[in-house]
Amino acid sequence: MTIRIQQIDLDYLGLPGAIAAWAIEGPDGWVLVESGPESCWSTLQSGLRSLSVAPADLKGVLLTHIHLDHAGGAWRLAQLGVPIHVHERGARHLVNPEKLLASAQRIYGDDMDRLWGSLEACPEHLVHPVSDGDRIQVAGLDFLAVETPGHACHHHAWSLEGSDPATIFTGDAAAMLIPDSHWISIPMPPPEMDLEAWDASLDRLEGGHWSRLCLTHGGMVENSDISIHLRNLRKGLHEQVAFIGELREKHPDLESQRPIYRSWLLESALEAGISESIFNQFVSVGLLNMNLSGVSRYLNLASDPR
C-alpha cells in the first residue's frame, strides 16, 4: 500500500541535509524513525507541527541505534509517553544513560551541549528492546527489524513491510550522502567499526526486496541507484580501511594522519563534483578523527583478536 513518508530535516548546526528524522503516517496515526539529537528538539517539534502532529501523539519511535545523532533526543519523546523501540543491546543505555553521557562528554567536552544537547533517562517501561527479525506493529503499520552491524553492533535497519515502493530506513548501515550528490561519506566510529560485519550487512541490503532506502544522513536512494550506492559504499569501505592501514604504518599518530587522510578524501569528493567548502561543512575534524580511530581499533583487533 502507498504510505505517506515525510522527511523532517533537523537542520543540524545549520546544515540542511545533515541529519533527518522520518515521519510515517499509518492508519492509526504517526510513527517516527530516529529522534535526532536533543540539540535539534525544537526543529523536530516544528517539523511535526507542520504535519499537524503533536510530539506526544506519536504512536512510537523506532531508533536504528543509540548514537546521539540518531537517538539523543529520544528521552524527550519518551518523557511525553511515546514508546521507544531500539536494539536490545542499546536499550539499557537509554534507561541508564550514564555511560553514554560520560563517553560523549569525554569526547566532546565543552562542545557537548552545542553539538548534541542534553541527555536524560527514558522511562524503562517505554523502552522496548528489539531483536533481529522482530516485527513491530506501530500506528497500524508493520516494521521488520533487520540487524545491520558494522557501524555499530547495536544497529537495526527498519523495513516498512507492505509499503509500495518497498522501503527500508537504513540509519548508518548505508552510510551518508552529501546532499544533492552521490558522494558517500562513511562513518566508522570506535569501538564497534567492523569491516566484516558491515560487509554482511551490505549483503543483506543487496539481497533484499527494497526499492527505496531512507538514509538518516542524505535523503533517499531509489530503484536502480540502490545497487550502485551499495556497491560504491562497499568499495569505499575497503579502500578506506586499506588506506588508513597503510597510513598508520608511516604515520603512527593521529595528528599526522589526519591532513593526509583529509586530502585523500577531498580528492575523491572534488572528482564527484563536491566543492571544498561543502566538503569542509560535512567532513569535519571530528569525523576524520573518528574514522581514523575507528579503523585503527578495528585493525588492531583484527591482528590480535584476543
Distance from C-alpha of 95 to C-alpha of 78, rounded to nearest angstrom: 10
Average pLDDT estimate for 264-290: 96
Whether 218 has a pLDDT exceeding 90, the answer reads yes
Residue 103 backbone dihedrals phi, psi, to 5 degrees: -65, -45
Strand, coil or helix: 158: strand
* pLDDT confidence of residue 87: 99
- Is 258 a domain residue? yes
Query: Is residue 30 domain-shared with residue 117, that is, in the same domain?
Result: yes
Whether 119 has a pLDDT exceeding 70, the answer reads yes
Give the mean pLDDT of the chain: 96
Query: Is residue 179 domain-shared with residue 138, that is, in the same domain?
Result: yes
Query: CA neighbours within 13 Å on the CB side: how many for 187?
Result: 25
* pLDDT confidence of residue 305: 61
* Residue in the block written with cell 539529537: 37
- Tally of domains in the chain: 2
**pTM for this structure?**
0.96
Angle, alpha carbons 7-173-132 (nearest 5°) = 100
Query: Is residue 28 domain-shared with residue 146, that is, in the same domain?
Result: yes
Query: Is residue 186 domain-shared with residue 261, that is, in the same domain?
Result: no
* pLDDT confidence of residue 303: 83
pLDDT, tens digit, 9 for 90 and up, residues 80-103: 999 999 999 999 999 999 998 888
pLDDT, tens digit, 9 for 90 and up, residues 21-79: 999 999 999 999 999 999 999 999 999 999 999 999 999 999 999 999 999 999 999 99
Closest CA relative to residue 173, chosen from 222, 35, 165, 154: 154
* pLDDT confidence of residue 289: 94
Query: Is residue 166 domain-shared with residue 294, that is, in the same domain?
Result: no
Query: Is residue 268 domain-shared with residue 203, that is, in the same domain?
Result: no
User: Domain limits at 242?
Assistant: 236-303
Query: Is residue 213 domain-shared with residue 244, that is, in the same domain?
Result: no
